[in-house]
Amino acid sequence: MTKKVVLAYSGGLDTTVCISWLKSRGYDVIAFTADLGQGQKDRDVLITRARIAGARKVILKDLRKEFIEEYAFSALKAGAIYEGKYYLSTALSRPLIAKYLVKVARKENAQAVAHGCTGKGNDQVRFEVGIKALNPNLEIIAPLRNWEFKSRKQEIEFLKEKNIPIPLKKSKYSIDRNLWGISIECGELEDIRCEAPEDIFVLTTSPSRASDKPQEIEIGFEKGIPVSLNGKRYSPVELVERLNKIGGRHGIGRVDMVENRLVGIKSREVYESPAAVLLYLAHQELEALVLDRETLHFKSLISLKYAELVYYGLWFTTLREGLQKFIDYTQEKVSGKVRLRLYKGNVKIISRNSPYSLYSVEMATYSEKDKFDHQASEGFIKIWSLPFIKRK
């Protein structure tokens, strides 16, 4: 009996070779492509290429809404940023794709799923842990960890021999793109002594070439979720798309970092995430206004752990789901508006406003409106300092 396998298909060289490679080993291949806002211009070309390569069936699904609402915005509410710089754009997409690989496998009665990840990257872990969490009975195939090809050149020759259209990349870099951001690596970036060349950037203008005129925007939130821009409500996908364009025009959202991969090696990564940078900053300012000190400080610890869980591929775990419930509870009053000024790669907070603000002018002021009881501080300080008094 021929085994069916569902392949996470990007349309690129590696996964196109995967289709033919799997078919040559007796698998009936179903190619699955998730639209996460990666800018796939010609779907017909992708479908045709997959079928010529040997796919029995090609399935494309628009997951942009689910990706932003349930994954990106969940991380936003958590304040999750890996190692202080990475907004988890690629990492957040992998569990969602894994979820649909399992769904498609169930619907198509497939016995296996496959991906085109290398043996030293993070994504192989994210895919496989997610798949195992959702259906441990599925066989998982990782051709790039096992096949005979040692170079991109050999893969191209393999496709030429089989008369399969070759999806040649114009870029020498490895690029992964979705609505939440772009991840860029390889090529010249592997030399950490060199500045990232300007030609790698897709979403962002160089700050030095950005507009000389600052732009102010206002982002509105309801229960931690961004819902409006400059007073007008947008769907989550539309809002992110607009903020990517606005932030990108002003050179906002570039990150160049050496990060610690899950598999134990350090790698240089360059990211573009204009919308995420703007939304995180606005969200943090609103939280500072409405959350009490202890909740705010404790949540910062949760944010670090949440980011690690996402980065490590542990989305479908009890801990991540439990932390999400705590995070969602903290967001009940994270509603209001934050005004930002964008200028040449920089973002400045102009104003914040919330009906649940804990800020009191009467308590904070040093003017005649001051209602703070200064004399009460003396007793407070005496009690507060008791544990720290050294007695001989």
Mind telling me the catalytic residues? 14, 94, 123, 174
List the end-to-end C-alpha distance of the chain, in Å, as a whole number: 84
Exposure b/e, 191-229, CB count within 10 A at least 16 = b: eeeeebeeebbebbbeeeebeeeeeebbbbbeebbbbeb
Lookup: tokens for 232 = 């007008």
Contact predicate 159/20, CB 8 Å:
yes
Among 329, 327, 331, 309, CA closest to 318 = 309
Among 217, 180, 188, 211, CA closest to 91 = 180
Contact predicate 49/165, CB 8 Å:
yes
Among 68, 133, 88, CA closest to 306 = 88
C-alpha–C-alpha distance, residues 219 and 77, integer Å: 15
Q: Which residues pair with 255 in a beta bridge?
A: 271
The helix (H) or strand (E) run that includes residue 391 is none
Largest CA distance in the chain: 88
- What angle, 0 to 180 degrees and rounded to 10, lies between the N-to-C axes of helices 152-161 and 13-24? 60
Q: For the chain, what is the radius of gyration of the CA atoms?
A: 25
- Dump strand ranges (E) for the chain: 3-8, 27-35, 57-62, 112-114, 139-141, 174-178, 181-185, 215-222, 225-229, 232-233, 254-260, 266-272, 336-343, 346-353
Contact partners, residue 25, CB within 8 Å, separation at least 6: none
- What angle, 0 to 180 degrees and rounded to 10, lies between the N-to-C axes of helices 236-249 and 274-290? 110
Could you write out the DSSP letters of every residue in 95-153? HHHHHHHHHHHHHTT-SEEE----TTSSHHHHHHHHHHHH-TTSEEE-HHHHSS--SHH
* Pairing of the two strands 27-35 and 3-8: parallel
